[in-house]
């Protein structure tokens, strides 16, 4: 299995109720221990986020509101996934270049990460990422 194929959409349990639905994310939903949670919002029209890879960190992205595209690249294959359901998340494994684009108005992207922030874990230049794959 190629590394990009390990990046997959995973369901988030959804409890339906006429008063409003509820979804719960616990450590049995994501395949790693949750160590950091943050979210992106108020992304201006046409703006892009991401544009990096992580050496070890894994992430789980959820469109809590609105939609956006996630472009994944493992150095050999490119895959685009549109996130637009709050009861489904995208697992992004380590050593995958990611770009987030096409944010709808009011989109909110929740990111659940396997570790705390560490600048040393980032690969911020695409050429460096490609060279790390050889």
Catalytic choice (6, 52, 79, 85): 52
Residues 134, 114: Cα–Cα separation, whole Å: 25
User: If you ran DSSP here, which 8-state letter would residue 120 be given?
Assistant: G
* 87 neighbors 6 (Cβ within 8 angstroms): no
The answer to whether 52 is a known catalytic residue is yes
- CA dihedral sign of residues 43, 48, 4, 134: negative
Residues 1, 11: Cα–Cα separation, whole Å: 21
Residues 33, 125: Cα–Cα separation, whole Å: 27
Q: Which helix (H) or strand (E) holds 131?
A: helix 126-132
Residues with a catalytic annotation lie at 52
């Amino acid at each position: 299995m190629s590394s990009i194929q390990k990046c997959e959409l995973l369901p988030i349990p959804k409890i339906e109720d006429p008063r409003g639905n509820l979804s719960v994310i616990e450590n049995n939903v994501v395949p790693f221990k949750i160590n950091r949670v943050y979210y992106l919002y108020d992304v201006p029209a046409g703006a892009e986020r991401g544009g990096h890879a992580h050496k070890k960190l894994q992430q789980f992205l959820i469109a809590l509101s609105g939609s956006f595209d996630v472009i994944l690249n493992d150095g050999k294959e490119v895959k685009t996934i549109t996130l637009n359901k709050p009861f489904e998340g995208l697992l992004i494994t380590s050593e995958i270049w990611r770009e987030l684009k096409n944010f709808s108005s009011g989109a909110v992207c929740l990111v659940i990460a396997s570790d705390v922030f560490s600048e040393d874990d980032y690969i911020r230049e695409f050429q460096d990422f490609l060279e790390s794959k050889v």
